[in-house]
């Protein structure tokens, strides 16, 4: 079994490139640090180094920043390829600067990891992989080709070759670890953010339906005044019309229908007020029948079971999250059932449970432990498909259902009840989470 897609929602965002302002600011910080470092070594420590070449490289970065700002502006959000090109330039510029100042013997060689971490946080995996390979290549080249480390001319410093190899290995390991770890953490953070946004979007759509009672009350309030005017004018016309005439009959009809309209508007005006809304809460069995009704005409039999011996069915406060979550799970089961779906409700003094079982192929064994994570699906997603009935999905159905039902106090468990499949999801609420909501 796979996950039900959410129609109309966009696919998960693979990456969110930084604004040009952020890239430019980071480069200005690097320029300031490089300038201070070069001047301190040359004038503060008095060590010889190719200052002209170093300052030329730093000036080139400053020129690139100025051109970018003048060409695109600070608010420009570059494409992933453009941003990757900028980070690749920063790596190359830093590599050239290190080559002029000792290569891997320079303690600032550790800064080769910084551009890789920026890429892993903001760029797609392919771009990060290319930049990580570039950083590894630069580190390898620096271990062979570089000018001597700026040092006191009166003292000789010699680095053992094994020590330099150790620095190279540590940089390569750092590049691999930072690229993999940061990229994974950033990817999961983006997934959670996108999935929660999709959940709020789905919830808001259902809340629009729940707001119809307020709209009805507002309409009743606005229509009350013109309806009263119509009734008053009709009564004045009745006194002028000849008794028994067709006009008098029509006027009586207008007065009668106006009174009827006012009675209807009075009911609409009071809908949901003073706690008199008859639909504010409902027994669990009624809620399950309600959310399953839209899926009964799809060629699958939905069977309901309950345990009346345990007492009256518990009463739930009707909420958009509860209805949407239960409906999504039943829809998911109906999609993949072969013939029937079994919805079983049970309760006792301590807990209330709902079990939804289908006779389909079941959950993929490798996905059961991860069910409820966003964008988890075993079926291919058609990037052109926006209809929830089409094959493929974003893997948000169970995530949204699980998130919304857990907000009501429920806990979900997924498993297959037979070797051949038969997926089952069980939702359990403690009585303490439901009874305070009931009247």
Per-residue confidence (pLDDT) for residue 399, from 0 to 100: 78
Per-residue confidence (pLDDT) for residue 95, from 0 to 100: 95
Per-residue confidence (pLDDT) for residue 427, from 0 to 100: 93
Q: Is 246 exposed, middle or buried (0-12, 13-18, 19+ CB in 10 A)?
A: exposed
The architecture of the domain spanning 281-437 is 2-Layer Sandwich (3.30)
Per-residue confidence (pLDDT) for residue 120, from 0 to 100: 85
Query: With a cut of 70, which residues of the chain have pLDDT below it?
Result: 1-17, 191-222, 267-279, 308-310, 374-396, 435-439
Per-residue confidence (pLDDT) for residue 15, from 0 to 100: 54
DSSP code of 40? I
Taking Cα atoms as reference points, which of 49, 63, 144, 134 lies closest to residue 97?
Answer: 49
Please tell me the distance from the alpha carbon of residue 267 to that of residue 216, in angstroms, as a whole number. Answer: 10
pLDDT, tens digit (0-9, with 9 covering 90-100), for 151-203: 888 887 888 889 889 999 999 999 999 888 888 787 777 766 666 666 666 56
Per-residue confidence (pLDDT) for residue 217, from 0 to 100: 57
Per-residue confidence (pLDDT) for residue 308, from 0 to 100: 67
Per-residue confidence (pLDDT) for residue 279, from 0 to 100: 56
Per-residue confidence (pLDDT) for residue 379, from 0 to 100: 54
Q: Is 4 exposed, middle or buried (0-12, 13-18, 19+ CB in 10 A)?
A: buried
Paired residues of 429 in beta bridges: 352
Length in residues, the chain = 439
Per-residue confidence (pLDDT) for residue 198, from 0 to 100: 63
End-to-end CA distance of the chain: 38
pLDDT, tens digit (0-9, with 9 covering 90-100), for 278-313: 557 788 888 898 888 888 877 889 999 887 666 788
Contact 389/369 with Cβ under 8 angstroms? no
Taking Cα atoms as reference points, which of 354, 361, 324 lies closest to residue 339?
Answer: 361
Measured CA to CA in angstroms, residue 433 lies from 289, 359, 400, 407, 410 at distances of 22, 31, 20, 10, 8
């Amino acid at each position: 079994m796979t996950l039900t897609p959410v129609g109309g929602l966009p696919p998960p965002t693979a990456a969110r490139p930084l604004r040009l302002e952020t890239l430019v600011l980071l480069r200005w910080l690097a320029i300031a640090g490089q300038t201070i470092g070069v001047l301190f070594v040359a004038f503060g420590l008095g060590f010889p180094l190719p200052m002209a070449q170093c300052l030329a490289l730093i000036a080139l970065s400053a020129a690139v920043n100025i051109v970018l700002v003048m060409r695109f502006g600070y608010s420009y959000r570059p494409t992933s390829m453009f941003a990757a090109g900028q980070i690749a330039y920063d790596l190359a510029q830093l590599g050239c600067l290190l080559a002029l100042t000792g290569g891997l013997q320079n303690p600032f060689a550790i800064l080769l990891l910084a551009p890789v971490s920026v890429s892993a946080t903001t760029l797609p995996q392919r771009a990060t992989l290319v930049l990580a390979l570039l950083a590894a290549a630069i580190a390898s080249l620096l271990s062979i080709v570089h000018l001597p480390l700026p040092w006191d001319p009166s003292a000789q410093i010699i680095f053992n070759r094994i020590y330099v190899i150790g620095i190279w290995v540590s940089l390569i390991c750092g590049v691999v670890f930072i690229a993999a770890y940061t990229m994974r953490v950033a990817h999961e953070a983006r997934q959670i953010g996108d999935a929660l946004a999709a959940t709020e979007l789905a919830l808001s759509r259902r809340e629009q339906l729940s707001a119809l009672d307020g709209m009805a009350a507002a309409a009743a309030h606005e229509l009350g005044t013109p309806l009263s005017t119509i009734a008053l004018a009709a009564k004045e016309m009745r006194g002028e019309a000849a008794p028994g005439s067709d006009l008098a009959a029509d006027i009586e009809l207008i007065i009668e229908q106006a009174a009827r309209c006012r009675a209807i508007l009075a009911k609409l005006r009071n809908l949901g007020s003073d706690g008199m809304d008859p639909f504010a809460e409902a027994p669990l069995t009624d809620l399950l029948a309600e959310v399953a009704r839209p899926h009964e005409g799809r060629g699958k039999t939905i069977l309901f079971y309950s345990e009346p011996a345990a007492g009256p069915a518990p009463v739930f406060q009707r909420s958009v999250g509860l209805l949407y979550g239960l409906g999504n799970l039943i829809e998911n089961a109906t999609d993949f059932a072969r013939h029937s779906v079994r919805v079983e409700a049970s309760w006792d003094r301590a807990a209330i449970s709902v079990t939804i079982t289908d006779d389909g192929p079941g959950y993929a064994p490798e996905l059961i432990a991860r069910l409820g994570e966003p964008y988890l699906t075993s079926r291919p997603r058609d990037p052109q498909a926006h209809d929830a009935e089409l094959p493929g999905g974003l893997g948000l159905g169970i995530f949204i259902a699980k998130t919304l039902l857990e907000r009501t106090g429920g806990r979900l468990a997924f498993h297959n009840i037979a070797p051949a499949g038969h997926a089952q999801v069980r939702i359990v609420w403690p009585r303490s989470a439901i009874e305070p909501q009931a009247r």
